């Protein structure tokens, strides 16, 4: 469908607008001249101001706070939220709807402020509750690549009416939700079409890559730019090798399109660290083959060996006035519970 063009400074009159000397003929339409339109606009604004009405939001400040929250992270279900004081969106929808709504409500965020759902890929632990959310909140849109949508319809018992809510996106082509600019990028995993997201808002640069088997060129490209990172630390190699999983499943996890070992994640974070990096959230930890302490310890040791001064070990508050500079906070996102609502500050 062709894009419509916006005619700056003009409006199309309503069906019952009078035709008078302040309008001119333009083919099938009657258009108010620019000069007259400016006079009408000024008059409307004077009336609104005198009545205490604000008809537009103030310009977005570069330092307006952005917040991040996870509702669950792992093969049992994945969903998180990123937003500012005006609006935000979900990343994945694999956590019970009631938990998402209640966790947001406890932090003063209503679903009216949630404008969409960005899906990373078509596996059930990331899309299980997407159609339920869309049916309950009709204003939402689901943002994913066409291949991901086709994978959802092919793999899962999901109503084909999900297409009515689909806003197609394409990797490396930025799009907007509210005040956020979002770019999907290629991630190596065994879904139909797998995406990480690079999200910017003022000076905040947020990168998320969950469910990936290796650090690809595009993951490296976007993570190096980020001030805040969410990245998978799925398994501890020794726990996986000695664990109860059958060999075929161990091989799938260790594959280049499987999941990330703690050591790989830790080495990568130490390699890309710069003082601009403020938060690292480790996600999608395996219940059987990892622990939060093992994942955090691996990253802490790698950062320390690289000479990085950090603060916070995943269990402390972000806002520590006595913390050294430059500050970096490291946390493992809970598997079953909601995380705190983290302010993404610089």
* Portion of the chain with pLDDT greater than 90, in percent: 74
Counted domains in the chain:
2
Q: Tell me, what's the pLDDT at 325? A: 63
Higher local confidence (pLDDT), 35 or 78: 78
CA atoms within 13 A of residue 337's CA, in its CB half-sphere = 5
Same domain, 47 and 180: no
Mean per-residue pLDDT, 140-156: 96
Confidence (pTM): 0.80
Q: Do 124 and 41 reside in the same domain of the chain?
A: no
**Per-residue pLDDT reduced to its tens digit, 271-305:** 999 999 999 999 999 999 999 999 999 999 999 99
- pLDDT at position 35 over 70: no
Alpha-carbon gap, residue 221 to 225, rounded angstroms = 7
8 Å CB contact between 153 and 144: no
Tell whether 234 is covered by a domain: yes
pLDDT surpasses 90 at 16: no
Indicate if 31 and 170 belong to the same structural domain: no
Residue 130 DSSP label: H
pLDDT of residue 308: 86
Domain boundary at 6, 26, 56, which? 56
| 29-31 and 342-344 strand pairing | unpaired
pLDDT tens sequence across 246-257:
999 999 999 999
Are 24 and 169 in the same domain? no
Buried b (16+ CB within 10 A) or exposed e, 73-99: bbbebbbbbbbbeebbbbbbbbbebeb
- Range name among 5-19, 238-252, 253-267 with the lowest pLDDT average: 5-19
- Rounded distance between C-alpha atoms, residue 185 and residue 145, angstroms: 11
pLDDT (average), residues 69-83: 97
CB atoms inside a 10 Å sphere around CB 70: 26
47 within domain boundaries: yes
pLDDT 10s digits, 103-145: 999 999 999 999 999 999 999 999 999 999 999 999 999 999 9
Owning domain of residue 41: 17-56
């Amino acid at each position: 469908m062709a894009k419509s063009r916006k005619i700056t400074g003009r409006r199309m009159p309503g069906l019952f607008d009078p035709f008078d000397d302040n309008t001119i003929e333009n083919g099938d339409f009657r258009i108010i001249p620019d000069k007259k339109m400016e006079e009408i606009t000024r008059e409307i604004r004077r009336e609104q101001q005198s009545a205490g009405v604000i008809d537009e939001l103030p310009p977005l400040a570069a330092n307006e706070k952005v917040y991040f929250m996870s509702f669950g992270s792992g093969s049992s279900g994945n969903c998180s939220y990123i937003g500012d004081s005006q609006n935000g969106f979900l990343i994945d929808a694999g956590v019970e709807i009631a938990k998402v709504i209640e966790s947001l409500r406890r932090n003063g965020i209503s679903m009216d402020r949630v404008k969409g759902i960005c899906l990373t890929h078509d596996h059930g632990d990331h899309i299980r509750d997407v159609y339920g959310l869309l049916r309950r909140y009709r204003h939402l849109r689901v943002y994913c690549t066409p291949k991901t949508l086709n994978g959802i319809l092919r793999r899962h018992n999901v109503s084909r009416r999900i297409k009515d809510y689909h806003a197609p996106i394409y990797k490396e082509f930025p799009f907007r939700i509210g005040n956020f600019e979002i770019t999907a990028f290629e991630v190596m995993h065994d879904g139909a079409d797998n995406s990480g997201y690079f999200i910017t808002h003022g000076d905040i640069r947020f990168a998320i890559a969950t469910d990936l088997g290796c650090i690809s060129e595009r993951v490296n490209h976007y993570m190096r730019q980020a001030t805040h990172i969410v990245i998978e630390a799925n398994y501890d190699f020794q726990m996986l090798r000695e664990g109860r999983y059958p060999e075929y499943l161990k091989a799938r996890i260790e594959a280049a399109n499987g999941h990330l070992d703690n050591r790989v994640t830790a080495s990568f974070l130490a390699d890309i660290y710069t003082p601009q990096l403020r938060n690292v959230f480790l996600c999608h930890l395996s219940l059987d083959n990892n622990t939060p302490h093992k994942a955090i310890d691996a990253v802490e040791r790698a950062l320390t060996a690289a000479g990085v001064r950090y603060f916070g070990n995943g269990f402390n508050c972000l806002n520590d006035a006595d913390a050294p500079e430059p500050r970096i906070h490291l946390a493992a996102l809970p598997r079953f519970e909601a995380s705190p609502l983290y302010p993404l500050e610089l």
